[in-house]
Amino acid sequence: MKLTKQTLQSSTDQVYDTIIVGGGAGGLSAGIYLQRYLLNTLIIDKGKARSFWMQELHNYLGLPPDTPGRSVLRQGKEHFLSLGGDLLDAFVEEVIDEGETLALRVKVGRNQSEYYTFRTKYLIAASGIIDYLPELENMRNVYDYAGYNLHVCLICDGYEMADKKVGVFASSAGNAEVVFPLGWFTDQITLFTQGQFEVNDELRSRITEQGYEIVETPIEQFLGENHQMTGVELTDGQVVELETGLISMGSKYHATYLDKFNLEKKGGNLVTDKMARTSHPRIFAIGDLKVGLNQVVVAAADGALAATQIWRDIRRSGTGKRVDRKVNV
């Protein structure tokens, strides 16, 4: 059921088998599996998943390559709800370990927000990451192209950039290294540093040896129309023509609600075992948030693994028969 402020009281009175934080590709996949294992599940999602910004999902088996990310999300939510799962649009602020249960402190409503506590035996962190974008005075100008032909994912969209004149927008020398794998797809690459970091001699010579260019003047705005970026105007008025672009500026990890748990991490990503379990036995992590490949197919597969392991844990902790379970204690 889609929960609202009016209908969520009965949900705060029960203990869910699993609460999933995040209703993107990973969270929805986990939710569908859990409901099909006849486990009661709540997905809490603040919206605007990474998949929401994905204008076209190009590489998912069985779906046409122009399938918008938001269609996948809509269809996934309908599927989850049709199996009797609970879904709440809200923001998880904090998780507290109570021993037998985990308690989630949740903010409901952007305006006139109210706070509620939900309890669960298991938690799946499926809250993903979000890409940093170039900071321009007019951010509307960035959103006009980001996710269209101004890409954020080389794995997803290298194919779309093949043999094209590509601008790479990086925020550090480490992020600028993306020009080398991008060189598999095209040799027409211009690196834009925006003057934000220094390109040392070693990196500069590796880049220029490949025939790539480096522009260090900051960008005034992206140029183009109908969501198709055709170049950039620099702050000195110079125009650089491009056919497409790749942003490589790092990501923000959506996992502050787990800070107290001190879970094992690699970079910002949560480390898990092969069934997506973190260093806490009742917390799983799936999709972009965990160490792995940031792809829809991987997030969906992670969801299947985490849900299956939770089902095994619950099944093995009792008699193995569902009828003997004390549900909603």
Binding interface with ligand FAD (CB under 6 A): 21-27, 44-51, 53-54, 57-59, 91-92, 126-128, 131, 147, 152-153, 156, 254, 257, 287-289, 294-297, 299
Min dist. Cβ of residue 295 to ligand FAD (A): 4
Q: Which two tokens stand for residue 8?
A: 């969520």
- If the CB atoms of residues 51 and 171 are measured against ligand FAD, the closer one turns out to be 51
Phi-psi region of 325 (alpha: psi -120 to 50; beta: other; left: phi over 0): beta
CB atoms within 10 A of CB 308: 16
* 30 vs 232, beta carbon nearer ligand FAD: 30
Q: How far is the CB of 296 from ligand FAD (least distance, A)?
A: 4
Cβ closest to ligand FAD, residue 132 vs residue 315: 132
Q: How far is the CB of 51 from ligand FAD (least distance, A)?
A: 4
Task: CB nearer to ligand FAD: give 215 or 246.
Answer: 246
Alpha-carbon distance 142 to 124, whole Å? 32
Q: Which is nearer to ligand FAD, 91 or 261 (CB)?
A: 91
Contact residues for 82 (Cβ-Cβ < 8 A; gap 6+) = none
Residue 90 beta carbon to ligand FAD: minimum distance, rounded to whole angstroms: 7
How far, in Å, CA of 46 to CA of 71, rounded? 17
Token pair in block for residue 171: 């925020």
Supply the minimum distance, in Å, between the C-beta of residue 46 and ligand FAD: 4
CB of 98 to ligand FAD, least distance (A): 19
> Is the Cβ of residue 25 or residue 189 nearer to ligand FAD in the bound state?
25
Q: H-type helices in the chain, by residue range?
A: 9-12, 25-36, 50-53, 69-82, 139-143, 154-157, 173-176, 179-182, 201-209, 296-317
Closest approach of ligand FAD to the CB of residue 169, in Å: 14
Q: Six-digit token pair at 269? A: 């990503």
Burial (Cβ within 10 Å: 0-12, 13-18, ≥19) of residue 200: exposed
Question: By C-beta, is 104 or 176 nearer to ligand FAD?
Answer: 104
**Quick check: helix, strand or coil at residue 212?**
coil
